Amino acid sequence: ETGVTQSPTHLIKTRGQQVTLRCSSQSGHNTVSWYQQALGQGPQFIFQYYREEENGRGNFPPRFSGLQFPNYSSELNVNALELDDSALYLCASSLAGGPGGYTFGSGTRLTVV
């Protein structure tokens, strides 16, 4: 059973640029959620994807968008990067309908300069 894998592990972008982060869900999981964790804070929910559609969103602007693919992997896209977007981005997968908990990846550390 594979866990959740995220890529890249680190990247540095310039303000105004666009970035794409990738996530492969755990085998058997059909739901993917994305979280932003700023330094010294708890993770904040960005959105969740199920059956290739967004089915829940936190308090993040539209420049944060995502995709889920038929194999349940997912992408997080952020346009017009701002300095405050610097954070650890965590992907979590789960099985819809069950309270079994989420399996988290190790995250992507994004630095915007």
Partner 1 sequence: AQSVTQLGSHVSVSEGALVLLRCNYSSSVPPYLFWYVQYPNQGLQLLLKYTSAATLVKGINGFEAEFKKSETSFHLTKPSAHMSDAAEYFCAVISSGGYQKVTFGTGTKLQVIP
Could you list the residues that contact partner 1 (CB under 8 A)?
4, 6, 31, 33, 35, 41-45, 48, 50, 55-56, 58, 90, 92, 94, 96, 99-107, 109
According to DSSP, residue 83 is labeled G
Q: Closest separation between CB of residue 8 and partner 1, Å?
A: 14
* CB of 29 closer than 8 Å to CB of 102: no
Q: Which is nearer to partner 1, 10 or 15 (CB)?
A: 10
Q: Closest separation between CB of residue 55 and partner 1, Å?
A: 5
**Helix, strand, coil share (%) of the chain residues, nearest 5:** 5, 50, 45
Q: Which is nearer to partner 1, 65 or 103 (CB)?
A: 103
If one counts every other C-beta atom within 10 angstroms of the C-beta of residue 67, the result is 16
